[in-house]
Structure formats: structure tokens, C-alpha cells
Amino acid sequence: MQLTPRLALMLTLPPLLWAGNAVAGRMLVPLVPPLLLNGLRWSGALLLLLLLGRAALATAERRAAIRARWGYFSVLGLLGVGAYNALQYLALTTSTPINVTLIASSMPLWMLTVGALFFRERPQPRQLLGAALSLAGVATVMGRGDPAALAQVHFVQGDLFMLAAAASWAGYSWLLVRPPASMQGEARPAIVASDGSRRPWNWSEFLLVQALFGIVWALGAAGAEAVVAPRAPQWTPLVALLLLYIVLGPSLLAYWFWGRAVAQAGPTTAGIFSNLTPLFAALMSTLLIGEAPQAYHAAAFALIVAGIAVTTLRR
């Protein structure tokens, strides 16, 4: 695989969009309740996906195939749409975009944990070493570079929400890699043309089905938030602009670019590029909201990258 400028750009744009989501979320959560924000994000994305991926719902047979797999799609929708971004926006009420994206970058740790607990995937020694380095990076972020803070368990609530979000995304990722038999091989739902030819769902069709189930969780959580912690959103032109960004950028464009780039570059190379997210978040935070990175952020970033390198590089 040759890393061309075009492919490098496709691998760089998703981390940039994801970093922008963290910064935009930090700017929005004082104005819009976080769970409502997640519901609005995926409602807007769903409207666009109904146009882009409508072929998945075009016939009674295709809709029946989705209903027959409702349990799988319900869990995917809960973890990927209903939980991950909702927890991220909750985290941003008390934590910074830099912290949030650094903790999210420790995903290999949670992938190993979920794989071992629920999918009987025994980690190798180098994977355990990588997980330990990533965990040290997370601890550095949560302790703000001060070991005494860890000893006294003085964690910022938002960091804990982001840990839960990372665990949710790890479960979502494993369900994509290890789907049930009804989502494997010829049993997978497909688009059957008039001439009898079959093709698997494309990215927008698959994401549409997940969003259809996930929006139930997202809006349900927003409704519960309105009852338990009522707060009226403040509608301003800036809020509308940022909402438009998180609907179009992190929700749709990042998925499209990432899917095409990973298919060409492979997951190992793509994983290295994904670690640009905290760097972009640090730059954006400094420029847009005045939250400059600290020395411990650099140390945490180095530990997390080292952990991912140890986990993913071949011998």
C-alpha cells in the first residue's frame, strides 16, 4: 500500500472532524442540554441518511429483513448512537476537549477488555503491555499529571463519563467485527436488483439502519433528561451553525471518509492517523475557546501513542 497525498488527506479529515465535534460539544453544552444535543445531532443525521441510504428500506422484503434482526440493530443503535456521543457530550460539561479526546484515544485498552470479557479473545503479552501504557496515559489525564490526585480519587466527573463512552464504543466495535450469524456471509441483508444481482449495504444504508434504532434510545434519553434535569436550550445563530456542523461533519462525512480510507490503507495505518484527534483538539481548543494544553497532556499523548504502537505493530 502506497500512502498517496489523497489517501493521507482522507485519513486526516476524520480525526479533524472528530476533534471539531469535541470542541463544538464543549461550546454547545452550556447552551443545549447534552442528551438533547445528542438527540438533535442524530435526528438531523437521520433525515439526511433517509435520502442517502433509502434503498435499504425501499421494499417490504428489505424492511422485513431489518425487523428480523431487530435485536442486533437495537444493541448497535444503543451503543453507537444512543450512548457514545451522549456520554461524550455529558463529559464535555465538566471536562475539556483535550481530555475527552485523549481518553478516547485509549480505545485499544477497552477493546482488549471487552474482547476478553464477552468474546473470549485472549490478549497477547504485547497487547497487555500496550494496554498498560494506554492506561498510564489515561491515568495521567485523569490525575492532571499529579499522582496524588489519583491516590485521592479526585476525578473530574466528565472523565468518568468519557471512560464509559470508550467502553460503549469498544462494545459497538466488537459487535461490528463479530456479528451474529444472521449478519454474516450470504445471510446478511443485501440490495437485490431487478436482474437478481445482489450487493451488500453501503455505508449510508448500514448507518441508516443503526440510526433508525439508535434514535429511539437517543430521544428517550433526551426525554428523561427533560424530566430529571429540565433546562431550556438557548437558541442562537451560533448554536444552529454548530449543530449543522456536528450533523454533517462527525456524523456523516467522517464515516464516509474513514470507511473508504480504511479499506485502502488498512486498520493499522488508519489507527495511527486516528491519534491525530487529540492533537487537533488541542489546537482547536487553544484557538477557539482558549483552553490551552498542559504539559501532562503531552505526556499522556506520548503514553497512549506508545501503547497503541506496541499493540498494533507487527513483530
Instruction: Summarize the confidence of residues 55-59 as an average pLDDT.
Output: 93
| pLDDT at residue 139 greater than cutoff 60 | yes
**Distance, CA of 227 to chain centre:** 27
Reported residue count of the chain is: 315
- Find residue 192's DSSP bridge partners: 198
pLDDT, position 120: 77
pLDDT, position 38: 96
Helical segments of the chain, H only: 5-28, 34-52, 60-68, 70-76, 84-91, 97-104, 107-118, 125-142, 147-151, 157-177, 203-228, 237-248, 254-265, 267-274, 276-284, 295-312
Q: How many C-alpha atoms does 45 have within 13 Å on its Cβ side?
A: 31
Give pLDDT tens digits for 211-236: 999 999 999 999 999 999 999 999 99
Give pLDDT tens digits for 177-222: 888 999 988 889 989 887 778 898 998 999 999 999 999 999 999 9
| pLDDT at residue 8 greater than cutoff 70 | yes
Q: Are 49 and 211 in contact (CB under 8 A)?
A: yes
Band of the pLDDT at 308, cuts 50, 70, 90?
low
Q: Are 77 and 214 in contact (CB under 8 A)?
A: yes
| pLDDT at residue 115 greater than cutoff 90 | no
Band of the pLDDT at 96, cuts 50, 70, 90?
confident
pLDDT, position 100: 85
Question: Pick the residue with more confidence: 151 or 43?
Answer: 43
| pLDDT at residue 170 greater than cutoff 90 | no
| pLDDT at residue 39 greater than cutoff 90 | yes
| pLDDT at residue 296 greater than cutoff 90 | no
Band of the pLDDT at 313, cuts 50, 70, 90?
low
Instruction: Summarize the confidence of residues 74-90 as an average pLDDT.
Output: 94
Question: Pick the residue with more confidence: 41 or 103?
Answer: 41
pLDDT, position 314: 54
Q: What is the H or E stretch that residue 141 is in?
A: helix 125-142
Give pLDDT tens digits for 15-36: 899 889 999 999 999 999 999 9
Instruction: Summarize the confidence of residues 244-263 as an average pLDDT.
Output: 87
pLDDT, position 298: 73
pLDDT, position 146: 62
Mean pLDDT of the chain: 83
pLDDT, position 258: 81
Band of the pLDDT at 268, cuts 50, 70, 90?
low
State the Cα–Cα distance between residues 296 and 140, nearest whole angstrom: 7
C-alpha grid cell, residue 181: 450469524
| pLDDT at residue 153 greater than cutoff 50 | no
pLDDT, position 285: 79
Instruction: Summarize the confidence of residues 284-308 as an average pLDDT.
Output: 72
Dihedral angle sign, alpha carbons of residues 233, 239, 244, 245: negative
pLDDT, position 138: 62
| pLDDT at residue 105 greater than cutoff 60 | yes
